[in-house]
Amino acid sequence: MKKLVWQLLTVLVIAITALPASATGYTQTRYPIVLVHGLFGFDNLGPLEYFYGIPGALRSGGAQVYVTSVSAANSTEVRGEQLLFQVRQILAATGAEKVHLIGHSHGGPTSRYVASVRPDLVASVTSIGGVNKGSRVADALVGAAPDVLYSVGNALGGFLGLISGSPTLPQNARAAAQSLSTAGTAQFNARHPAGLPSSDCGEGAYQANGVYYFSWSGANSYTNIFDPADPFLAVTSLAFGGAKNDGLVASCSSHLGRVIRDDYRMNHLDEVNQMVGITHLFETSPVTLFRQHANRLQGMGL
């Protein structure tokens, strides 16, 4: 009887100590997670995060998370070099050998640039709503936007840099639009093809040059009547002529490496939990998707 009691107590102690460790370690990856914003993005504007509520949710599960700040509007290569500089800083500060890059929108190809030129520093690249094969919205801007619109874009980018604490980053809205156009991304992809699908809407290599590639995206432009950005995205979605899209990027264009899903009931801003968490009521929370992905990387030993 005494032996049975001790066995039961031992099992109870193991269960009590194991549960918190499991809960707090859900998002704990081997390498730091680095979040990369898209066009006209930022790290945070006061209490407003670009990846709204996501860094904290990842950290609460044990992940090391860094939110980078690159030019709000500039070419993929310029943004990529800025990101590479910050990756080196993160590695020096943490002592880690590599990082996980998770980029939204223009942050997708920006992250791909770093993985292409320095694959030894990158464990994985995850593209969320990434402009990997161009956007028809960018095509329309390149073809018809007047110079004054690019000037406004430069001013907006500079303003975002100023209030987010990165006032010296150069802004070039014209270069950004060209980089995100179908022609611009084709030129970029010829130089940095890793992870790209060979077919129009397939999957790419899951691993290239030692780097793992993943992607996911939404496929609805209007998802919540209380979101002030939804009407704008509903209008821009018309540029895709009925093809599945998130309001700014066609679902097939977002594909990179292993495609987790390309049809979440999310628009381009929902994918990073904007605006301030107002997303579709009956879809998985974007925060949950980030947490699940961190756990996926953990399960791969990364």
Q: What gap in Å lies between CA 227 and CA 283, rounded to an integer?
A: 15
| pLDDT value at residue 97 | 97
| pLDDT value at residue 24 | 54
Alpha carbon of residue 205 to chain centroid: 19
Within the chain, strands assigned E span: 33-36, 44-45, 48-49, 65-67, 99-104, 122-128, 207-208, 211-218, 258-264
pLDDT tens for the 302 residues of the chain, in order:
444 334 433 333 333 333 343 445 999 999 999 999 999 888 888 788 999 999 999 999 999 999 999 999 999 999 999 999 999 999 999 999 999 999 999 999 999 999 999 999 999 999 999 999 999 999 988 877 777 787 888 888 887 888 878 788 999 999 999 999 999 999 999 999 999 999 989 999 999 999 999 999 999 999 999 999 999 999 999 999 999 999 999 999 999 999 999 999 999 999 999 999 999 999 999 999 999 999 999 999 99
| pLDDT value at residue 3 | 42
Q: What gap in Å lies between CA 177 and CA 155, rounded to an integer?
A: 15
Would you state the structure tokens that stand for residue 230, as one six-digit string?
């939804």
CB 289 within 8 A of CB 24: no
Cβ-in-10-Å burial (0-12, 13-18, 19+) of 110 comes to buried
CB 161 within 8 A of CB 72: yes
Closest CA to 192 of 133, 104, 120, 105: 133
Q: Could you give the 3-state DSSP secondary structure of residue 45?
A: strand
Residues labelled as active-site residues:
105, 246, 268
Residue that is written with structure tokens 């991304």 in the block: 185
* HEC sequence for 209-275: CCEEEEEEEECCCCCCCCCCCHHHHHHHHHHHCCCCECCCCECHHHCCCEEEEEEECCCCCHHHCCC
Give, rounded to a whole angstrom, the gap between the first and last alpha carbons of the chain: 46
What amino acid occupies position 219?
A
Buried b (16+ CB within 10 A) or exposed e, 183-201: ebbeebbeebebbbbeeeb
Q: How many residues does the chain have?
A: 302
Q: What gap in Å lies between CA 44 and CA 225, rounded to an integer?
A: 25
Helix 76-94, helix 182-191: angle, nearest 10: 50
Q: Check the CA dihedral 137-138-143-148 and report its sign.
A: positive
CB 44 within 8 A of CB 161: no
Cβ-in-10-Å burial (0-12, 13-18, 19+) of 142 comes to middle
